[in-house]
Amino acid sequence: MCAVDYAFQRIGGKHKGRVIYQLRNGIKRYGELRRLVTGITAKMLTQVLRELEDDELITRTVYLEVPPRVEYELTDTGRELLPFIRLLADWGKQQMEKEIIAE
């Protein structure tokens, strides 16, 4: 398989990029992510987080408290993706601005 393909499988999908992006500055809780990643449903957030965890791009830490607390954080491998996500975000931002000017 091709490396580009492989990478897209691991960070592709509708929300994965944004979840990783929101974890760029460190630990976030489930509820925080749900608010930050606008438009995502609980089901999808859970699914994305599980996939990222299986891929060892994030860690999941459960605190046995009441109310329960679960924290997510990028692994080293996950952090390696940040420059790439940032580049993409910058490009996207520029393009969006161009479109606004064009209209």
Q: Decide if residue 6 touches DNA (CB under 7 A).
A: no
Closest distance of CB 57 from a copy of itself, Å: 10
Q: Mapped to the 3 state alphabet, what secondary structure does 18-57 carry?
A: HHHHHCCCCCEEHHHHHHHCCCCCHHHHHHHHHHHHHCCC
Q: Decide if residue 31 touches DNA (CB under 7 A).
A: yes
Binding mask 11-50 for a copy of itself (x = CB under 8 A): xx-x--xx--x----------------x------------
Taking CB under 7 A as the criterion, which residues in 55-84 touch DNA? 60, 62, 67-70
Contacts of 99 (CB under 8 A, 6+ apart): none
Contacts of 85 (CB under 8 A, 6+ apart): 17, 20, 21, 24
Choose, by CB under 8 A, the member of 61, 63, 69, 87 that binds a copy of itself: 87
Closest CA to 86 of 23, 8, 7: 23
Residues that bind a copy of itself (CB under 8 A): 1-8, 10-12, 14, 17-18, 21, 38, 77, 80-81, 83-85, 87-93, 95-96
